Structure 1
């Protein structure tokens, strides 16, 4: 699916009105089910759904890799799309024991959490030998913009990209939801056999708690974003060992946590 549809309307300006056609992003319900039980339904762009489903399963901790899954299929219904997973017996029992303690459907943030403590569970600490240059980080969001065909058509979607030193953005995914775009990217990396620890996550959005949580669970050591982090996201990134660079536009960026991974020169670090 293309992920967009063309619609007609009127463009109204000082000189009057004229007929116009615009491309708008599609948004459909996407259900993710495990062993016949639907655990989440999100509104998402109907492209790269298999990537999205795998990314969601990984970042929400339902599975740790392909070996946990016996079968997976994506079905399109009149009312939306369904991604069905059939888990290995022990993983199925583990999921049933957890019930619905899942994080983060887009637009909801913390659906399925049954306590305040469940909103901020401990995160794995990310370790990596990754090193990026100042130029890598400063140019990252501009390079991501060159990998956003759906945004070019609609001007209405987010993107998440994966940056590898000396290679640039090697993969990108788009969606109306920033969480969905990141899940799609992480799922695509897993399906391609690319280790998230070897590069940086690049985002067109702000950096919220859920974006740090998903990045930590994926095991990527660096987040580069065009916008700001929240204060809580900054604290989580520090504790999880993630380097966080925000306001990355053109020639510069703000570097907040674990600056040792970015080669800026010691004198540049406050």
Structure 2
């Protein structure tokens, strides 16, 4: 059984006729406290797997590091839930700076909603990679096939780094943002080029999710779920093709449709809007 799931939990279930004692499983919730140069920085509530990738991705997402070589060391205490990061170049880190909203305007667009660290790390994606609708459905099917923990508990999100043809790495977490940070950490730790990659995702396309995709540097985000209005605005602003409700044979394209071709193969035409 995965560390993400705890089984043999005693519950009482009503089956429509009576309340019966039985057993079930649930997603594990785990606190990971991250220290930077000996100072406590943040605690992430997460699933207790791929914690090194989560830590690296979180630090990069927060703008603390830009590449894996910015870390002098990273020591993980998996059992107790601590991560101790030492930076090669020491810096003064203000927690207020990383949680304070930046009020301003950017040509009337949605970037006035960024936090300071988001404005520093979320860049416009310039990738020209295209993907067919058939490939979108294939990737979502592959993501679902790898989602055993969700099928058991209904309590985790899944995210996968993909080419247009296959899933390269997938991660699960109780937090959708954590699953994306695990992808980011994996990419940095393995120096994965991102210009031709996509992300398949199980959760809602919120502003936070779009910002994570922009920080990672992936231009195509495919989800089975719905977007939010700010998520759509940020995706348009940041050059990300946001695809929602990708289920069976239908999907919705909310931004930058020029990356989507209607059919696989050389005869496929780009979607026009």
Which TM class, normalised by the smaller chain length?
A: 0.7 to 0.9
Output the aligned Cα RMSD: 2.1
- Residue matched to 2:100: 113
Structure 1 runs (4+) deviating above 6 angstroms are: none
Query: SS of the counterpart of 2:254?
Result: strand
Query: SS of the counterpart of 1:62?
Result: coil
Runs of at least 5 residues in structure 2 that lack an aligned partner in the other structure: 105-111, 263-267
CA distance in 2: counterparts of 1:129 and 1:115, whole angstroms: 30
- Residue matched to 1:38: 40
Query: What is the CA distance between 1:116 and its match in structure 2?
Result: 4.1
CA distance in 1: counterparts of 2:270 and 2:187, whole angstroms: 35
Question: Does the 8 A contact of 2:260 with 2:270 survive in 1?
Answer: no
Query: What is the CA distance between 1:189 and its match in structure 2?
Result: 2.5
How many residue pairs align between the two structures?
A: 254
Q: Note the alpha carbon deviations across 1:176-214, whole angstroms, 9 max, x for none.
A: 111111111221222233223321111111111111111
Distance 1:150 1:211, change over 3 A: same
Distance 1:234 1:126, change over 3 A: same
Question: Does the 8 A contact of 2:143 with 2:160 survive in 1?
Answer: yes
TM normalised by structure 1 equals 0.86
Runs of at least 5 residues in structure 1 that lack an aligned partner in the other structure: 103-111
TM normalised by structure 2 equals 0.85
CA distance in 2: counterparts of 1:76 and 1:137, whole angstroms: 35
Moved more, 154-163 or 10-19: 10-19
- Residue matched to 1:4: 5
CA distance in 1: counterparts of 2:58 and 2:174, whole angstroms: 15
Distance 1:237 1:114, change over 3 A: closer
- Residue matched to 1:109: none
Q: Note the alpha carbon deviations across 1:130-162, whole angstroms, 9 max, x for none.
A: 221110113332221111232132221111111
